[in-house]
Amino acid sequence: MKPLPEIRLMPTRPALDARPLEKRVGLIILATDHTSEPDFRRMVASERIGVYVARIPYKNPTTPENLRKMQPELSAGAALILPDEPLDAICYSCTSASVVIGDAEIEAAVQAAKPGIPVVTPPMAGVRGLKALGAKKISILTPYTVETSRPMATYFAERGFDILSFTCLGFEDDREMARIAPASLVELARKATHAEADALFVSCTALRAALAVPGMEQAIGLPVVTSNQASAWNCLRLCGDDKLRPEFGRLMTLPLG
């Protein structure tokens, strides 16, 4: 073997950018999640915005009791995302757990690890999206059981929406929810939307609903807001990104307000 060359240390270091990417979005997802990460990569990540993901423990079935069990994991999950570095937004990507635990409790748990960082939850983003669209009378579609859907109905009613219809599919496993084809969601949206509704909210970050938004909007002739689409929209606007993305629905053409 030839003698190894001498390793030379450069006398000066290159200048450093302030950040590898200009903006940072943290994403806390369930250990079982198949959908949030690809959706955020598709809708949020760019040469300007980085998406940084942490997974926290979760076990099915999707019941209010199991969803509540994630609350103690939120601070640890947030702390794992770029430790000791600031973020521009952080999203806890579980709609049903956010409703059961509560937005304020989630914000407190996340900000215990990431002080001062804006926290987004899917139902919170859904409310903001529906209001940006001017919707007051809504239909809701979820993949959950009736038991898990009830808190969702209460959440939106308490925020001033008139729920004209609420349809659920009876699934207990989020991994099965992720296997529902986007094309099936288009037909389900048609059946679940009340004739007098202003918009349809499709709940659950496991659903591949963001891919189906254009088809759903065309099928029902109304705006459609989904969990991951609304969360992505909210995070983009918090990062100062106002680019219009009509391919992900009418909501993606609006300001945060």
pLDDT tens-digit readout, 126-150: 999 999 999 999 999 999 999 999 9
Angle, vertex CA 200, rays to CA 232 and CA 91, nearest 5: 20
The span from the CA of 142 to the CA of 25, in Å, is: 26
In a domain, 58, yes or no: yes
The pTM score is 0.95
Number of domains in the chain: 2
What are the tokens at 204?
Answer: 């659950």
Compute CA 213 distance to the chain's CA centroid, rounded to the nearest angstrom.
Answer: 14
The span from the CA of 172 to the CA of 88, in Å, is: 33
Range of the domain at 45: 23-122+230-245
In a domain, 2, yes or no: no
In a domain, 136, yes or no: yes
In a domain, 255, yes or no: no
In a domain, 240, yes or no: yes
Q: Are residues 48 and 107 in the same domain?
A: yes
SS (H, E, C) 164-233: EEEEECCCCCHHHHCCCCHHHHHHHHHHHCCCCCCEEEECCCCCCCHHHHHHHHHHHCCCEEEHHHHHHH
pLDDT tens-digit readout, 16-74: 999 999 999 999 999 999 999 999 999 999 999 999 999 999 999 999 999 999 999 99
Compute CA 202 distance to the chain's CA centroid, rounded to the nearest angstrom.
Answer: 12
